[in-house]
Structure 1
Amino acid sequence: MADEVEEAVAAAAAELYAVPLAEFVASRKALAASAKASAGPSAAKAVLALRKPTLTAWAMNLVPRGDAGALAELVGLGARMRAAQSRLDTATLTSVRGERDAALTAYVASVVDAAESEGGSLSPAARDEVRASAIAALADETAAEALASGQLTRALSYSGFGEVDLSGAVGVTSSGSIMSVLQGGGQGSPPEPATGAEQPDGGEGARAADGADEVDDDDDELTAEELAEAVAAAKAAKAEAKARAEERRRAEAEVGAAEARMRKAQVALGEAEQAARTARRGVVDAQATLDAARTALAALAGSEG
């Protein structure tokens, strides 16, 4: 029964994350009803738990199902870079910098094109999220699998150390393995429902599935807790940006002061060199005067003798 539920949820997710964004909620309801009929209430509940993707995630989900050449290049490059990093092969990591930049640019362009082909449009901020997701995929194998899954619910980001946080970022996972629709990328084991173990037919799972046709769409809106977290995150980001701007201002001031000290030192050095040259000329003149005096004295002594 568990395998049947997993297969039903996996099939529903694969279909659901391929539909136009405006049709997501209606499609989820229909697929939940179908899953209930084929695999029972637990499958329906798991389908209803699948989160609606953001606009950026929806656009990235189009790529594995369409022209995935740029994505395949990005995934392959990430595997090579991670292998080189594990070997501490700095020469290889340095040599692929240009390739890395080109791969990121190509992937962002492929996502933008895919969105526009479906009537969507990505803002500069959304394009930055796409690029950040691609960077995360280069750094982390599981993030690369998520990008190739076609089931993202949000953009990804990499902090520069550790693993990429994928919590709530992918529609369906199974013990960390993510379904992939990228051609040549292979496919993991059937994913587990996001809700965990089955519930008896008379329990909470059955009630949730029975209400599939009347499901509230509020789960696609931010909850009060999520909104508070988002506001807190925005404030933290603003504070960090302000702190960095202040650090930059101080650093620029220090650089300016250092440059002023250097110019002053250069002027002092020039003056010292000029004084040294004048002193050397004085020494030469004094020596010439002394030599002339000695000559005159010698001549005088000779005439007296």
Structure 2
Amino acid sequence: MVATLAAVARELYGLRPQDFTAARNTKAQDLKPSEAGLSKQVAAMKKPSPAAWVVNLLARENTDDLTALLDLGEHMRTAQEQLDRDALRRLTGERRAAVTGLAQAGAARAAGLGNPPTAAVLGEVEQTLLAGTSDPAAAGAVASGLLVKALRAGGFDPVDLDGAVAVPDAASWASSPGSSRSAAPPDPVQLADVRRRKEARLEAEREERDADAAAAEVDALERRAHRLELRRASLEAEITELREQLDTAEAALAAVADDDNALADARTQASCAADDARTRARDARDAADAAEKSD
């Protein structure tokens, strides 16, 4: 059933947004006589958001480039875990370029199909691609081509994929109850020894639980410290890149200021030259008038 539903979803989510609803309803009606359950699932499929549709296009038509971006995300996670700041800085720049290139490619393809994305939609496309690099589950969702809505990464927390994919993973895990064993009652002669051993065992179990709880708290604190260190490394890489961008912008601003100063000097000189010219013209006119009067 899941495989069949996935096949129907791949067909529907490959259509243009304006064609989705009619095709979905038709498919559900066609399936209803023979597969009522599948028909109901198909009828419940949601139309993809504009950003999700563009990302689905990329998953189908720019598979190699998208795969390269998601692999880049895996490399970034490895660099973060290893606290490799140089690699993280390099990979951050590569990811930004790859996301921009893919988003532009998706926008061009969407426009060719009569659905040019707005700037807001394009921003959601980029956020979804970035989310795909943040954890493996999000990468699978982006690569599925079955996104219903845009994704957004939240730091080092897992990406929220609730309701994000048309056909979520249907695997389930069942736990089987453990078997219990009963022991024969102790001999009355040994009852006191059995009781003492039982109390000692219970005390040992309590101590073990306390030790396990303490170890779990230490592990939790260590994981938190590790996440903070990863966050610090990521932010330091971003700060370095932003500082380089700021240096570039400040250099450009200084060049503009120099040009502005040069222009101001040129305007002052030109204004002085114009004033001098007007003065000389006025003096010449006065001399000419005086000459005429003397004649």
Q: TM-score under structure 2 normalisation?
A: 0.55
Q: Which residue of 1 aligns with 2:19?
A: 23
Structure 2 residue corresponding to 1:36, chosen from 32, 47, 64: 32
Structure 2 residue corresponding to 1:9, chosen from 5, 8, 18: 5
Structure 1 residue corresponding to 2:99, chosen from 88, 104, 126: 104
Q: Tell whether the 8 Å contact from 1:6 to 1:43 is kept in structure 2 after alignment.
A: no
Please state how far the C-alpha of 1:63 moved relative to its aligned partner: 1.2
Q: Which residue of 2 aligns with 1:69?
A: 64
Aligned partners of 1:176, 1:60: CA distance in 2, in Å? Answer: 25
Q: Which deviations, in whole Å up to 9, do the C-alpha atoms of 1:32-86 show, x marking residues without a partner?
A: 2343355x21111111111111111112111121133331221110111112223
Q: Tell whether the 8 Å contact from 1:52 to 1:153 is kept in structure 2 after alignment.
A: yes
Please state how far the C-alpha of 1:98 moved relative to its aligned partner: 2.0
Give the unaligned 5+ runs of structure 2: 173-295
Please state how far the C-alpha of 1:150 moved relative to its aligned partner: 0.9
SS at match of 2:133: helix
CA RMSD of aligned residues (A): 1.9
Give the unaligned 5+ runs of structure 1: 178-305
Q: Which deviations, in whole Å up to 9, do the C-alpha atoms of 1:108-163 show, x marking residues without a partner?
A: 11211121121111111111111111111111211111111111111111121310
- Which residue identity is paired with 1:169? A
Moved over 6 A (4+): none
> For residues 153 and 98 of structure 1, do their structure 2 counterparts lie closer, same or farther at Cα, with a shift above 3 Å needed?
same
Matched, 1:151 2:140: no
SS at match of 1:173: coil
Q: TM-score under structure 1 normalisation?
A: 0.53
Q: Which residue of 2 aligns with 1:51?
A: 46
SS at match of 1:96: helix
- Which residue identity is paired with 2:128? S
Q: Which residue of 2 aligns with 1:135?
A: 130
Aligned partners of 1:16, 1:30: CA distance in 2, in Å? Answer: 11
Aligned partners of 1:176, 1:90: CA distance in 2, in Å? Answer: 38
Q: Tell whether the 8 Å contact from 1:70 to 1:110 is kept in structure 2 after alignment.
A: no
Q: Which residue of 2 aligns with 1:214?
A: none
Please state how far the C-alpha of 1:175 moved relative to its aligned partner: 4.1
- Which residue identity is paired with 2:127? A
Q: Select the structure with the greater relative contact order (CA < 8 A; seq sep ≥ 6).
A: 1
- Which residue identity is paired with 1:145? G
Q: Tell whether the 8 Å contact from 1:13 to 1:151 is kept in structure 2 after alignment.
A: yes
> For residues 86 and 16 of structure 1, do their structure 2 counterparts lie closer, same or farther at Cα, with a shift above 3 Å needed?
same
- Which residue identity is paired with 2:125? V
SS at match of 1:158: coil
Q: Tell whether the 8 Å contact from 2:2 to 2:170 is kept in structure 1 after alignment.
A: no
Identity score, percent: 38
Q: Which residue of 1 aligns with 2:82?
A: 87
Aligned partners of 1:176, 1:114: CA distance in 2, in Å? Answer: 34
SS at match of 1:65: helix
Structure 1 residue corresponding to 2:120, chosen from 121, 125, 143: 125
Aligned partners of 1:133, 1:67: CA distance in 2, in Å? Answer: 15
Q: Which deviations, in whole Å up to 9, do the C-alpha atoms of 1:186-242 show, x marking residues without a partner?
A: xxxxxxxxxxxxxxxxxxxxxxxxxxxxxxxxxxxxxxxxxxxxxxxxxxxxxxxxx
Q: Tell whether the 8 Å contact from 1:9 to 1:35 is kept in structure 2 after alignment.
A: no
> For residues 34 and 85 of structure 1, do their structure 2 counterparts lie closer, same or farther at Cα, with a shift above 3 Å needed?
farther
Count of residues in correspondence between the two structures: 172
Aligned partners of 2:115, 2:85: CA distance in 1, in Å? Answer: 40
SS at match of 2:32: helix
